[in-house]
Chain A
Amino acid sequence: MKKWFSYLARSIKKRRRTAALQDAGAFIAAPGAREASWTAPVLWRFWLALVLSLFVFAGNLFAADIAVDFSAANKLYAEGKFAEAAVAYDAILKTGGQSPALLFNAGNAEFKAGHLGHAIAAYRQAELLAPRDAELRANLAFVRNQVQGATLRESRWQNWVGSLTLNEGALLTAVFFWALFALLALRQFKPALAPKLQTATRLAVLLTIFSGAVLALQAANRFNAAVAVVTSADATARSGPFDEAQSVFSARDGAELKVLDRHDDWVQVANNAGKIGWLSQKQVAVLPGA
């Protein structure tokens, strides 16, 4: 910050000097022009630094505000005002920032307020960010046990693949991919090393293929296996996407259903018994797959 201020002061000094030279008259117009052309990149850097600093400053303010709001919401929770705490956590989430702890606490508050569906939705969103958080998994399992009626259960491979976030999977695959091609390039530059690099290259190939396969499964699960969590006390799935359609099955608060299709404000879902029906989007929270 100190450096930034000294840079700012220098920039302003140069700017004033240039302006003074330009005002001085024809004799020094040429040096002034040279000065102006010389200071142009300096000014450009100054403005860039200013804009970046403002961004950082605004970011810090934003984070500080959210930390205060988070503490206030925690206090509401500690005072037993769970519904108010849930609203407070939700307000923070609406600012665009999210963290596993924030979503975890939001899930706790929703559960304590009696909203199983909203709690599961919050936990599932937290799980996308921190899939290996033991406390999160424990609470999600606990809340799921409170849900009445049939609900979707993730398969073993989904659980296994879901132990990494999609970004972690992508970065891991990228690391192996880069390592593989780095080894191949090294073999071109130093052919003599090829025999020594053979094992490492084969390992890199295997790891790249394996991590790529895991990433593909993760991506397929994320983008093609959306889940709807029922957030109303009792939701009736209908045979078509309109209120007058015949009832097919009902799902209780917190039930997780597989999303098959969407149409306007309706979501086509399937329960674990294979029954398919349409639910109003107001009754569910649609989430990406784990």
Chain B
Amino acid sequence: MALLLLIALGGGAALAATFTATLDRDTITMGETATLTLRFDGEVPQVEPALPKISGLKYGNVSPNSIRLNINGVPSSILTLAYPVTPQHEGEFAIPAITANVNGQQLATLPLKLLVTKASAPSAESVNSGNEVAFMKLILPQKKVYVGQTCIGQLQIYLRDDVQENSQPQFTGTPADGLSLGKSAGGGQAQAHAGNHNYTVLPISIALTAMKAGKLTLGPFTANMVVVLPSSDDLTDPIFRQQRQMMRQMGIRSSFIGGERKQIPLATEQVTLESLPLPAGNVPANFNGVIGDFAMNVTAGPTNVTAGDPVTVRVQISGRGAFDSVKLPDQTGWGDFKLFAPTVKFTPADQLELSGTKTFEEIVTPQNAGVQELPPFAFSFFNPDDGQYHTLTQPALPLVVKAAGTVPLPTIAANKNAAPENQTPQDILPIKEKLGTLTPATEPLVTRPLFLVTQSVPVLAFLAAFIWRKRTDNLANNPRLRRQRAVAQLVRDGLNDLKKFAAENQSDEFFALLFRLLQEQLGERLDCPASAITENVIDEHAILHAAPKATLDGLRELFQLCNQARYAPVRGASELNSVAVKFEQAVGGLQEVKA
């Protein structure tokens, strides 16, 4: 926003530019806020100047203000940027020169100093003389408390009778060692007199809880308050003063009718408090740290129910004390009941919520017809007024529980005291507490295609096993078929070996294997022992007459090559490879011949 403003104004300057920085006060007390004002006369910068970062000083949001002037026909402008400056600690702060670029000209301010002093309560002399416009007091009625006890502290703000208006106090420090600050509430006004002035007293009550034993300190509390005091006109002109008083009585604010606004730092003295530990003796077993003075009332209804039906138990604890620590009394003896989480409601009787009534409403359901009463409640607390522990007990409340519908029990599990099976149930059985396994509402398995298709798996497996069995049996009963398959496998393996021997140029092994393979293949075709096969069978056996001539010629050549190899074994790898190819072709033709 400020940047936009700067840019908007940055056009028509003509006079020589100046840049100054000022503080509205050079000394403030801790908790107060000073105002740093940057002023540009004549010309304005294009961008907002950067403020120096100073440890312990915090700048607030800028408030810009601009004025356009025309001096003897020459346009000019004044821009002020006001920054609230809040110190974080006491001490002297040096604000260095701030620089800004105005139309290419580098301008700088002078350094500034800000002294921050400790906030302290005014002296008794100053207060009694009526010199203070406003001051603040912290009062603790009790000087001794027990650990955990809540007491009330009172803060009193005094405003002199010439204060025309005042803002709400802005607290800047509320130190408390060993005390916890609770709710606060303002009360009615009172009047006091000091010196020649009357003071209006604004009391604020604060709930304080002692958190530890020993000496506890509270304060000094510090705050800021803006007050409106009479202007100099009011003091000098009684008629003018009277008119303004009338306007104020009509509710017209000081911003319309004038007056001097002043920020007043307020500070109290530090007060001390002695915190005592709770007595160690005679502590009730069910005491859980509740301190105060209480009464208990327990009601329940309905008291004539069926097992599983709800009964509402209402426990009311009323009195004065720390209600935050008041819990529903222990229910260890309620095993025959199902207990639902109670609802809790607190009805305060004062603004600080230190007195009132806390109501616990709990739904319980008796689980069986044997239940005859709601067990007693016991509630213990420590009363700081008499320094003793107290236990409040509520006697057991009679309850009539009827049996719910009977569930047929297995014979083995039925006991002698169980209700007879033919007894007419009086009500339905109670609800189930556990949700169980949640399943989506889906179609039954028998309508799902995947399930149905899956059922074909065992049938197919059986059919596969059946076919395998048939083929195995066929093979077992046919020796020629077995031999045919065995030889076919032998030839397949042998061809690989032949190629291997050929590659390694192992002529002897090659032809020995070739001869054996020829014997095996021809023996299988002619159904005679392999060892009985020689080249002569090619012409002698009638079965081979059906073979193609090329096949028979190939076989003859292969036999002859095997014979020649015995006398001239050395051959090249390429020749051996070509022989292997011829063998493959001859065997292929031979296997076509019907045996």
Contact = CB atoms under 8 A, between A and B. Distances in A.
Nearest to A216: B446
Contacts of B427: 142
Contact of B469 (A109, A134, A167, A189): A189
Contacts of A142: 405, 425, 427-428
B419 to A, nearest CB: 12
Contacts of A150: none
Contact of A102 (B340, B341, B435, B462): B435
Interface in B386-426: 405-409, 425
A108 B439 contact: no
A174 interface: yes
Contacts of B458: 177-178, 180-182, 185
Nearest to A223: B447
B410 to A, nearest CB: 9
B436 A170 contact: no
Given A79-B310, A101-B435, A188-B465, A170 B407 contact: no
A75 B363 contact: yes
Interface string B418-458: 00000001011111111111111100111000010011011
Nearest to A69: B435
B446 A108 contact: no
A139 B363 CA distance: 23
Nearest to B451: A170
A245 interface: no
A285 interface: no
Contacts of A264: none
A219 B448 CA distance: 13
A167 B468 CA distance: 35
Contact of B440 (A67, A97, A167): A97
B486 to A, nearest CB: 23
Given A66-B438, A177-B455, A180-B458, 9 more contacts: A70-B435, A97-B441, A111-B428, A138-B429, A166-B444, A166-B445, A167-B444, A170-B445, A184-B462
B436 A74 contact: no
Interface residues of B, number: 44
A63 B439 CA distance: 10
Contact of B441 (A75, A98, A134): A98
A222 interface: yes
B318 interface: no
B365 interface: yes
A145 to B, nearest CB: 9
Contact of A188 (B310, B407, B431, B462): B462
Given A80-B310, A189-B469, A215-B446, A134 B405 contact: no
A100 B432 CA distance: 9
B431 A104 contact: yes
Contacts of B341: 75
Contact of B461 (A101, A166, A185): A185
Nearest to A70: B435
22 contacts: A75-B340, A78-B310, A78-B363, A80-B310, A96-B440, A98-B440, A98-B441, A102-B435, A104-B432, A109-B431, A112-B428, A129-B439, A137-B408, A138-B429, A142-B405, A170-B444, A170-B451, A174-B451, A181-B461, A185-B462, A189-B465, A219-B446
B103 to A, nearest CB: 48
Contacts of A96: 440-441
Interface in B199-225: none
Contacts of B338: 78
Contacts of B445: 166-167, 170-171
B334 interface: no
Contacts of B280: none
A114 interface: no
Interface string B264-279: 0000000000000000
B425 A138 contact: yes
Interface of B: 310, 312, 338, 340-341, 363, 365, 405-409, 425, 427-441, 444-446, 451, 454-455, 457-459, 461-462, 464-466, 468-469
A244 interface: no
A108 B431 CA distance: 7
Given A97-B438, A101-B436, A138-B407, A181 B428 contact: no
A151 interface: no
Nearest to B464: A185
A101 B439 CA distance: 12
Contacts of A184: 462, 465
A101 B432 contact: yes
A105 interface: yes
Nearest to A89: B431
Interface string A205-218: 00000000001000
Contact of A143 (B428, B440, B454, B469): B428
Contact of A135 (B429, B436, B459): B429
A181 B461 CA distance: 8
A99 interface: yes
Nearest to A140: B428
Among A78, A79, A166, A167, the most chain B Cβ lie within 10 Å of the Cβ of A78
Contacts of B363: 75, 78-79
A99 B435 contact: yes
Nearest to A182: B458
B436 A139 contact: no
A188 B365 CA distance: 64
A78 B365 CA distance: 7
Interface in A68-97: 70, 74-75, 77-80, 96-97
Nearest to A111: B428
Contact of A99 (B340, B409, B437, B469): B437
Given A101-B435, A105-B431, A181-B462, A222 B469 contact: no
Interface in A233-264: none
B417 to A, nearest CB: 19
A21 to B, nearest CB: 42
A9 B365 CA distance: 52
B438 A99 contact: yes
